[in-house]
Chain A
């Protein structure tokens, strides 16, 4: 069974500071990994995805994530936080061939950006 752990349910950074949101996965096969963002009262939007083509993945809004097999990690980063980045972020792993492309989500990290 696959699983995702997001360390830190709440992260607070200053505007302009580095954003680092942590995600560790457990999967019996090479995974497909996703980061989604959720703004208040909205659905989830795809930020980026890892599908084994390249270990450093660039997404929308200046975010990127690096797949590290040895650490079973897929941490999300952004060099300089903006107020508009305040949202909840979810890491997810795909069942990859288990039928239906089902996703297993982490419990989410709420990002707060302060002036």
Chain B
């Protein structure tokens, strides 16, 4: 039972490079989310999606883009990497059956921008 799978687990980028963080879930969840976690700051929502073809901004969307072409996949793209984007990124998903459903998290991608 895979749940939410994120790749890669670690990555080092140079300033100005671009990359895509991959996220896939096998629970047939409609809702998916991207967070970043910085020390002492908790988790901040970057983008979320309520279904294939529908995405919306969260609290900290600047410098990121997302797409949702299928129910399973929700990639996060960094176009021009900046040192401020050094963080741990988590993808999550939840059922849309009702609003008390918990979110299920992947193990994260640790990204360093140098």
Contact = CB atoms under 8 A, between A and B. Distances in A.
A105 B99 contact: no
Contacts, number: 66
A106 B102 contact: no
B102 A46 contact: yes
A42 B50 contact: no
Interface of A: 9, 32, 34, 36, 41-46, 49, 51, 90, 94-97, 99-103, 105-108
B56 interface: yes
Interface of chain B: mostly helix, strand, loop or mixed: strand
Interface of chain A: mostly helix, strand, loop or mixed: loop
B100 interface: yes
Contacts of A45: 105
Contact of A100 (B43, B44, B48): B48
B90 A43 contact: yes
